[in-house]
Amino acid sequence: MEALFRPLRTLCEQEEKKLSQLGQQRSETQQRIDHIQQQKDIIAQMQVQYGQYPTQTANPLLLQNTANMAQILAPMQKNLTRQQILLTQEHQRINGMWRKQLGRQQGIKWLYQKKQTERQTYLDKQEQKQLDDLAGRYAAAY
């Protein structure tokens, strides 16, 4: 009778594995998003620092360096923002897949447990019936 539950148990294990893989992907994309945000924060801090130099007392070389840094940092910031947007979209897609998989996995797990409970109830009734039959025979014999 265990052979009847084997395919369902195997399916349940497969669904748990898929859920685990999607959870791992979900965590990885969130970590990458957080890392990009940290990079963006560092660049923004650098932009503020380079922009704080007083223009009246600074020499021309310092002003040129500040302008060059601003020209370098702005595209970096823009590129990181674009990467962050794409990763956020990917994270949302994976999160949606994870949620669907979670529902599927929980449904299959519930079905498996329900079938096991029904089977155990059936076996318990069969055993009780056998005990009742034996008790009836024993009582009839004496």
Q: Where are the domains of the chain?
A: 2-141
Give the closest residue to 29 by CA, choosing from 99, 78, 93: 93
Percent of the chain residues topping a pLDDT of 70? 94
Classified as helix, coil or strand, 44 is helix
Is pLDDT at 109 greater than 70 in this prediction? yes
Angle between helices 2-51 and 60-141 (to 10 degrees): 160
Say if pTM beats, i.e. exceeds, 0.85. no
**C-alpha 39 chain-centroid distance:** 24
Give the closest residue to 19 by CA, choosing from 79, 87, 108, 88: 108
Percent of the chain residues topping a pLDDT of 90? 65
Q: Residue 92 is inside which H or E element, if any?
A: helix 60-141
**C-alpha 12 chain-centroid distance:** 18
What CA–CA distance (Å, rounded) separates 20 from 134? 50
Is pLDDT at 34 greater than 60 in this prediction? yes
Nearest 5°: phi and psi at 128? -65, -40
- The pLDDT value given to residue 2: 66
Q: Residue holding tokens 């994309």?
A: 29
The per-residue pLDDT for range 46-95, each reduced to its tens digit, is 888 877 766 666 677 877 888 888 889 999 999 999 999 999 999 999 99
Contact predicate 129/15, CB 8 Å? no
What CA–CA distance (Å, rounded) separates 84 from 36? 6
Q: How many residues does the chain have?
A: 142
